[in-house]
Amino acid sequence: MRQKPVLYIIIPCYNEEAVLPVTAPLFLQKLQEMIQLSLIQEESRILFVNDGSRDRTWEIISELSKKDPHYMGISQSRNRGHQNAVLAGLMEVKDICDITISIDCDGQDDLNAMNEMVQKYLEGNEIVYGVRSSRATDTFFKRFTAQSFYKILNWMGVEVVYNHADYRLISGRVLKEFQNFKEVNLYLRGMIPLVGFQSTTVSYERHERLAGESHYPLSKMFALAFDGITSLSIKPIRMIAGLGMTVSFISFLFIVWILIQYFSGHTVQGWASISAIVCLMGGIQLICAGVIGEYIGKIYLETKARPRYIISERTEPADVTESETEDRK
Ligand code: UDP
Ligand code: MG
């Protein structure tokens, strides 16, 4: 059995002033319960990552960090999206933690699964994926799109854990290896399995948001799905090649047919079908060029090797300010 670990709970927050005051005490309660159960060390912390919020989120995080030393916060200099915010949090603590658990701040993911996650770590796992036991609270549309997406990803050869979002335990050891994954296009749930090490899953119920609104409208969902595929799989390129060959073969048959028509003196009648082919070919070529362009765009971004996040602020630990005020007395 392993030693009790130091746990950092990583929570990305973007415009969450409505939900943060509700869920922050729940996270603290959970942390303290786990400390009392001797699952984790007293030095464990809750790290909020403010993802360039435009509302009072950062003020709330700063206030929390003054109230209890278990709360900490970092703030990104601008909104970079959920995946980058989680990465910023993970990289912030990689050298000081034994384990991290990333979770959304809206209370949708059942906090009670954390005990089991830590237990699985103590049993020797380096990564523990939270897997939703059912999708009953989702709309039919979200359920359908999400499940088809997992199927497509798997078919594309991207290894993803079915029904796992970004609620997971990652050990410091894995994070130290993960920092060498330098890509800019992030799709964490597809990248973490690439690091390897012993892993397992824990199932949990996903509830409705406790307050506030989702920041994942349809457009962002599609963007993440598209990123997931093009960042991790080159199968679309192979499919283009396959499509190209099929189309060429069909075109060859058409040419034979056109020649037959020509020699039998029916060329004028063939005009409609030829124009149709021209249009079809134009369309296919455009699609192909678009997909190839997507990859070239990604290569372009990767060669720049830009920093993936920039931290602009950090909260002070609460115990220091307290002792300072006592000194003054
Ligand atoms: N989030 C973020 N940056 C963004 C969008 C969302 O850090 O640009 C955070 C958000 O605060 C929440 C988590 O990512 O903690 C998941 O977002 P949300 O609950 O809106 O998505 P949903 O659960 O509806 O998919
Ligand atoms: Mg949510």
- Give burial (CB, 10 Å; 0-12/13-18/19+) of 1: exposed
What local confidence, expressed as pLDDT, does residue 39 receive? 94
Q: Whose CA is nearest to atom 1 of ligand 1?
A: 82
* Substitution site in 15, 82, 167 for ligand 1 pocket (most atoms within 8 Å of beta carbon): 82
Classify 38 as helix, strand or coil.
Answer: coil
Q: Whose CA is nearest to atom 23 of ligand 1?
A: 214
**Torsion angles phi and psi, residue 98, rounded to 5:** -95, -40
Q: How far apart are CA 141 and CA 148, in angstroms?
A: 11
Series of mean pLDDT values for 10-residue runs along the chain (329 residues)? 92 94 95 95 96 95 95 94 95 96 93 95 95 78 82 84 91 91 86 89 88 80 82 78 77 75 73 70 77 80 73 77 49
Q: How far apart are CA 165 and CA 161, in angstroms?
A: 9
What local confidence, expressed as pLDDT, does residue 319 receive? 72
Q: Do residues 164 and 206 make contact, with C-beta atoms less than 8 angstroms apart? A: no
Residue 170: half-sphere exposure toward Cβ, Cα within 13 Å = 30
Q: How far apart are CA 157 and CA 234, in angstroms?
A: 9
Ligand 1 site residues (CB inside 6 A) read 12-14, 16, 51, 79, 81-82, 85, 104-106, 108, 214-216
CA dihedral sign, ordered 39, 44, 50, 51: negative
What local confidence, expressed as pLDDT, does residue 72 receive? 96
Q: How far apart are CA 172 and CA 115, in angstroms?
A: 18
Q: How far apart are CA 38 and CA 99, in angstroms?
A: 15
Cα 120 to ligand 1 centroid, rounded to whole Å:
26
The answer, as to whether pTM is greater than 0.75, is yes
